[in-house]
Amino acid sequence: MELGEQISSLEKDLQEVSRLLELCERERVRTVLSQEQKKMEKELGQKRLQKEQQMKRDSGDAAVKGYTVKINNYGWDQSDKFVKIYITLKDVHRISADNVEASFSERSFSILVKDLDGKNHQMIINNLLCPIVAEESSRKVKTDMVLVLCKKKTTKKWECLTQVEKKSKEKDKASYDENADPGEGLMNMLKKIYSEGDDEMKRTINKAWSESQEKKNRGDDLDFGV
């Protein structure tokens, strides 16, 4: 017997027990019927819960049927108020807008496009560069595209989308600086010391510069690095 049929049968049994209790005059019989009524009510509650869980599972299976692919390709830009993420998905405008789900937190967002060409498409971005206002963020479905609008908490300009990208850029910059021409680095350092130094420091640097130029003009191998 299916779960729905079991629930229907229990409901009818309960109705019958309730009628018998109304007619019953013997205390002992009433006690037995009351106990049976409680058992039936408990069993009915359990069956109804099972039915509800089954419906949720069936609904979930229907909603996310097919396999899920990760969205890797996207573009983004920004205004003073929003960071905008552009996700290109062919024919996304042809499916129900309810199939395009979005969720936001202060530092992340996720997009799930269900049942597009027999697949689900998912994008999860964590560790956004700056906080966003989750309740004022949203998504819009356009022709062949999903537009994600993350409301900035402040109007500060974002240099990249995530903290991971920022760290990667800083690492690349540090690596570039390490590989820079040492002579150029020395010159920059001397310029800084000269501009911030007192008169004695400036005289010392000028003297060293003059000696370096004299050696260079003589063709000495030793050179001050300019």
For residue 163, tell me if it sits in a domain: no
From 24, 41, 63, the end of a domain falls on 63
Question: Are both 59 and 34 inside the same structural domain?
Answer: yes
The average confidence (pLDDT) of the chain is 82
Where residue 115 sits, what CATH number does that domain have?
2.60.40.790
pTM of structure? 0.51
How far is residue 27's CA from residue 15's CA, in Å, rounded to a whole number? Answer: 20
**What's the pLDDT at 82?**
97
Q: Is the pLDDT of residue 77 over 80?
A: yes
DSSP string, 133-162: -GGG-EEEEETTEEEEEEEBSS-PPPSSSB
Tell me the pLDDT tens digit for each residue of 160-201: 999 999 888 887 766 655 555 555 556 666 676 767 667 777
For 8, the domain range is 3-63
Cβ proximity of 148 and 85 under 8 Å = yes
C-alpha neighbours within 13 Å on the C-beta side of residue 174: 6
Domain boundary among 45, 63, 81: 63
The answer to whether position 165 is within a domain reads no
Please state the length of the chain. Answer: 226
What is the model's pLDDT at position 13? 85
Final residue belonging to a domain, choices 63, 80, 106: 63
Q: Is residue 20 part of a domain?
A: yes
Structural domains in the chain (count): 3
Count of CB atoms within 10 A of residue 157's CB?
A: 10
Residues 130, 57: one domain?
A: no
CB 132 within 8 A of CB 104: yes
Tell me how far apart the alpha carbons of residues 103 and 139 are, in angstroms, rounded to a whole number: 9
Which of 6-10, 106-110, 149-153 is the least confident region?
6-10
Residue at 144 is within a domain: yes
Q: Are 161 and 132 in contact (CB under 8 A)?
A: no
Are 180 and 156 contacting, i.e. CB atoms less than 8 angstroms apart? no
Tell me: do 59 and 77 sit in the same domain. Answer: no
Which one has a higher pLDDT value, 106 or 174?
A: 106
171: in domain? no
For 91-98, the CB contacts below 8 A with 24+ separation are 91/116, 91/117, 91/144, 92/116, 92/141, 92/144, 92/145, 92/146, 93/141, 93/142, 93/143, 93/144, 93/145, 97/141
